[in-house]
Amino acid sequence: MYPPQRPASFRFAWLLIALVIGTGCAPSATPTSAPPTIAPLAQIALNYEEHQDLIAARAALAGLGLADPLAAVSERAQQEAAAGQNENAQALAALAAALQLTPESPHVTAETNPTATAEATAAPLPSATPQPNEFELVSRERVCERVIGSALLEVFTQDANGAQIGGLEVQVSWNGGSDRFFTGLKPEIGPGYGDFQMEPGVNYRVRLAGAPQVVAENVLSEACATDTTAYPGGVRLVFRQTDNAP
């Protein structure tokens, strides 16, 4: 005697249930994360260095939602320099100098102030990153400022007209060591300013990476004194582009 045959509809229902269960147990595909749509600070700076498009750089920085883009770029430049990422640090320093030299201003239309608009259009914007030109050491002075009270090396970089320019690498070396920093990262002091903490008693050599033939030799801290106390003094150097630079 043969067992009773199941109706075709019954067998189809079980087949459908097995198919659904099998599908539900199959591993789901791992979702892929979307690529970032906003470039990091270093990439924004490198893009600015290549295209010299400050408007695009400002737009990219605005997309990051930074409370203070200038401070963020300056801080990142210092971090990259400390990590030895020279190319990124230089590009960030140049971007910081550009942001300082050409601050964003409210939009002015010709209807509201045509004279101001015409003057703004005609006036050339200062260059934040100088072209590879020759430099010379035009000033070297001892600094005794009690408010600083430390052996601070201060460097200012200028164009041929004496206007400060940032984004320049300054190289410092001494017996047994070397370091570097960039001008333009402390805009509250000056767009072409940079500094380095010296150690009293150490003899330093200072030069610009873009003009290695111009060297400030025997740079060292000399003691400063008041009527009641003594403290380490600093040195201030000014490097300026030459008039006959191309």
pLDDT in tens, 157-195: 999 999 999 889 999 999 989 999 999 888 889 989 999
Of 2-6, 120-124, 220-224, minimum mean pLDDT range: 120-124
Query: What dihedral do alpha carbons 210, 212, 216, 219 form, nearest 10°?
Result: 90
* 14 pLDDT more than 70: no
CA 79 – CA 75 distance, rounded (Å): 6
User: Three-state SS for 95?
Assistant: helix
CA 89 – CA 79 distance, rounded (Å): 8
Bigger pLDDT: 39 or 92?
92
The per-residue pLDDT of the chain, averaged, comes to 75
Measured CA to CA, the distance from residue 209 to residue 195 in angstroms comes to 15
The answer for residues whose C-beta is within 8 angstroms of residue 164's C-beta and 6 or more apart is 156, 157, 158, 183, 190, 191, 192, 193
φ/ψ of 11, rounded to 5, equals: -65, -40
Q: Give the model's pLDDT for residue 208.
A: 95
* pLDDT at residue 118, as a whole number: 33
Query: Does the structure show a pLDDT above 70 at 149?
Result: no
Average pLDDT rounded to a whole number, residues 192-217: 94
Q: Residue by residue, what is the 3-state secondary structure of 107-142?
A: CCCCCCCHHHHHHHHHCCCCCCCCCCCCEEEEEEEE
> Does residue 74 or residue 199 have the better pLDDT?
199
**Domain boundaries, given as residue ranges, for the chain:** 41-103, 135-241
Q: What is the CATH number of domain 135-241?
A: 2.60.40.10
Q: Which of 44, 132, 40, 136 has its CA nearest to residue 95?
A: 44
Residues in the chain, overall count: 246
Q: Does residue 121 surpass a pLDDT of 60? A: no
3-state SS class at 154: strand
Tokens for 180?
A: 């570097």
What Rg value do the Cα atoms of the chain yield, rounded? 31
- Give the mean model confidence (pLDDT) for residues 197-223: 94
